[in-house]
């Protein structure tokens, strides 16, 4: 159960991937989002006291690269929001720091109340 809580934090890292640009149907699933971000759970579980892993950064970068269309980004966002709502005590600040630590530039506020439709 603790790993799910920390996975939720990791998944919030990519909430900022939402961008508006109408395109086709989403091709990214919640399972793919989860799989990409599982390596970030250790970093989040430690409260950020351990170095972020290369596997975590690879997952964040891969997810960022895969979510190119608006429907894909919205699918990622909606998946992350579902997880965030299930774990309201998650440390969103720590999760929000992961993209920057991995060299991924996300110009959006990472927040569980983000409107995924925009």
Predicted pLDDT of residue 19: 34
Mean pLDDT, the chain, whole residue set: 78
Q: Which of 43, 24, 30, 29 is nearest to 84 (CA)?
A: 30
Confidence grade of residue 107 (pLDDT, cut at 50, 70, 90): low
Percent of the chain at pLDDT > 90 equals 29
Residue 26 has which token pair? 């989403």
Query: Which domains does the chain possess?
Result: 2-17+28-100 (1.10.110.10)
Predicted pLDDT of residue 102: 95
Give 30-85 pLDDT, tens digit per residue.
999 989 988 998 898 888 898 999 999 999 999 999 988 889 988 988 888 887 77
Q: Is the pLDDT of residue 23 over 70?
A: no
Burial letters for 14-47: b for 16+ Cβ neighbours within 10 Å, e otherwise? Answer: bbbbbbeeeeeebebeeebbbebbbbbbbbbbee
Predicted pLDDT of residue 6: 53
pTM of the model: 0.74
22 SS3 class: coil
């Amino acid at each position: 159960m603790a790993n799910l809580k920390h996975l939720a934090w990791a998944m919030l890292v990519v909430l900022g991937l939402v961008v508006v640009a109408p395109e086709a149907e989403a091709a990214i699933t919640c399972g793919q989002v989860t799989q990409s971000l599982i390596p970030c759970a250790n970093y989040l579980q430690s409260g950020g006291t351990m170095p972020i892993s290369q596997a975590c950064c690879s997952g964040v970068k891969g997810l960022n690269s895969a979510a190119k269309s608006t429907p894909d980004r919205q699918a990622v966002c909606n998946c992350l929001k579902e997880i965030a709502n299930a774990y309201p005590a998650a440390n969103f600040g720590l999760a929000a720091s992961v993209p920057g630590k991995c060299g991924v530039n996300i110009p959006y506020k990472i927040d569980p109340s983000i409107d995924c439709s925009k």
